[in-house]
A and B are shown apart, each in its own frame.
Chain A
Amino acid sequence: MSDRHNNKFISRRENAWRRNQNTVAFEHSTRLGPVSHTVLVAMMVAILGLIYLTQVTKTSSYGYAIERLNLQKTELVAKKSELQVESARLKSLQKIQSSEVAANLTKPASTDYIR
């Protein structure tokens, strides 16, 4: 039974290889010597090292950004606390009682409830 009849999937690449399996392989005339290999490996290591360094530096720079934002947050929280305290002082009973508005208020003579 053919592959097609077996419903087996054959990729185009495999099919192409099967077609050309009897052809002669081409061999390039230039060959890399051991020095070239070493240089290439060294370059790859250097590139990888650079990539690593850029990543590490990048993540380190987040530390500075976080620190800067933390300082900013601390300053804002401090200002908020200051304002809260000031607001509370202005709304305190002592402040209200000594205000001009309070001085002009009069005590109700009596209180009645509508039933």
Chain B
Amino acid sequence: MKFSLSLPRFRKSEILATIMIGFVVIIVLNLFYIQIIRHEYYKQQAYDEQVAKFVLPAKRGQIYARESGSIVPLVLNQPVYLAYADPQQIGDKSKLVSTVESIAGGNMVDDYKDGLNNKSLRYVVLARQLSNKQAELLKKKNLPGVGLTESDRRVYPEGSLAAQLLGYVDSENTGQYGVEGALNDRLKGKDGKLQAVTDVRRIPLTVSDDDVSIPAKDGDNLVLSIDRNVQAYAESALKTGLKRVNATKGSVVVMDPNNGQVMAMANYPTYNPSQYGKVTNYGVFQNGIVSEPYEVGSVLKTLTMGVGLDTGAVSTNTTFNNRGYVQIDDTKISNVEEDPISANATMTDVLHYSLNTGVVFILQQMGGGKVNLQARNKLYNYFHDQYRFGKKTGIEQTGESGGTIISPKDEQGNNVRYANMVFGQGMDVTMIQTAAAFGSAINGGTYYKPTVVAGTTDNGSNLHAAKAKVLKSNILRKNTSTTLRDMIVKGRQLGALGGRDRSGYIVGGKTGTSQVIDPRTGKYTDENSIGSYLGFGGNQTPHYVIMVQVKDSKAAGYSGTTAAGPIFLDISNWLLDYLKLPPR
């Protein structure tokens, strides 16, 4: 039996149709797979390719100072450009080099020619820090493969004026030191975002509902409380004063005691913020007025006198037996300056002759006749809680120090320490703490938060003023404050510098010469002492407080009197004219 297999016979057209249908089915299935199953994946790929995300950089806020009711710029932004080339796209290399060099000149970077020869590179920096004018010229040349990137740099029209107060902005666009560091968040603003479908040249097109456009929020334009002329004069007077006594370092702070605003903050030596990279002594970046606490010495006697008057321990009529020294526990405390030993020394004598024994007497009176825990507690209450020593003032500067004041409960807070604290030894305070406390003691008893910011401006001409912030009221009673003020004025008038004040004004102040602890022996030494002067001036009421510090004076005598005092006098007399204060 013959087996025969009969297969169905198909026509060619049917086979072709089947193959075609098969292809179509495969294509449809593939399309189904791509479009339905892998829909999200391919959609994301297309989105990533078509949509670009751009960062809209925020402009850093500019910084202004005040000047007789108007606003003047201290720190501005200037656009600068970076020129780059794509070696794969450049045409005539020698033409490119000669053209760019003729425009950029000294702004060309080193070794850029090596980069241009390397065709595997796509980005070679040609020149940096080009001005707007140079960038415009380069654009006009329309060189193939050459591009420009814009950024901002900080410029300082006033050079090194108020350098430590301002700080600088580093290459990462982050503020360092001074106001730039302390208020970096306010100044830098917030970058915006643009997310949009773009064409091949990455130009955003407005076709998608998914476009995101969040505009950048520029940083605040700050107006400092600094007066440009006061700052410039303070810096000049400080430099001249230091040169006169061959001193190496010094600082001046000028404040308005009626609102806590700093009118000037000068430090010497200083630097130019536009060339911060060239600084080798990094110490000059610090604003020592807020960051370097020290034993301010006898200038603090004015504040101790305020405590004595306010607690009722002494009055203007109080006298004491000044023997030239006083024994506290196992320590003998002596007067150091000219000392007219008298059985009836007055409280004005205490300030005039800077009697250590006088301020220790005040402390003793606060303890009922001797230095004890009660006296220490009272003094600590005033120094720490009222004058706010040991606490940061909150001024808008980086690296502020709160200083050190030892509590009477501490083992180190013994009678001897407190007997030293009344004349500014045995505790560390900064110049800004001292000036702010002094301002509140003579302004009627209101402690204003020290500040260097007067407000903001939108356009560089109108000031949106910030309100003065009261940190504590009635730190001294009002009549105590008035009495203290009069005593300080009298103390100065009787001294060597008093007769040289402009007549018709109230000018008061106190010298201080602090011994420095010798690191070799751990004991106080007269070498390299720090001279200070703390005072105020005005007509009916105080209009300014000035504190001067001079380190390492080579002049004979106490540096508070011979080095710091003349600088105070110079600035004070100039300020009375500058502020146009009519005499009493």
Interface on A for B, CB 8 Å cutoff?
A: 56, 59-60, 62-64, 66-67, 74, 77-79, 81-82, 84-85, 88-89, 91-94, 111, 113, 115
Contacts and interface: CB of A to CB of B under 8 A. Distances in A.
B251 to A, nearest CB: 20
Interface in B58-100: 72-73, 76-79
B150 A85 contact: no
Contacts of B132: 78-79, 81-82
B207 A59 contact: yes
B40 interface: no
B76 A113 contact: no
Contact of A94 (B72, B158, B203): B158
15 contacts: A59-B205, A59-B207, A60-B207, A63-B204, A74-B150, A81-B76, A82-B78, A82-B131, A84-B460, A85-B76, A88-B73, A92-B157, A93-B158, A93-B229, A93-B232
Among A67, A79, A85, chain B packs the most CB atoms within 10 A around the CB of: A85
Contact of B205 (A63, A82, A92): A63
Contacts of B583: 113
B223 interface: no
Nearest to A62: B206
B263 interface: no
Among B73, B76, B157, chain A packs the most CB atoms within 10 A around the CB of: B157
Contacts, number: 66
Contacts of B157: 85, 88-89, 91-92
B228 interface: yes
A94 B150 CA distance: 29
Interface string B192-205: 00001001000111
Interface of B: 72-73, 76-79, 131-133, 150, 152, 155, 157-159, 161, 196, 199, 203-207, 228-229, 232, 460, 577, 582-583
B582 A94 contact: no
Given A85-B155, A89-B157, A111-B577, A60 B78 contact: no
Contact of B79 (A60, A63, A81, A113): A81
Nearest to B155: A85
Given A82-B132, A92-B157, 8 more contacts: A56-B207, A63-B206, A66-B204, A85-B76, A85-B157, A88-B76, A91-B157, A93-B232
B547 to A, nearest CB: 23
The 4 closest A-B pairs by CB, nearest first: A63-B205, A88-B157, A113-B582, A78-B79
Among A59, A89, A115, chain B packs the most CB atoms within 10 A around the CB of: A89
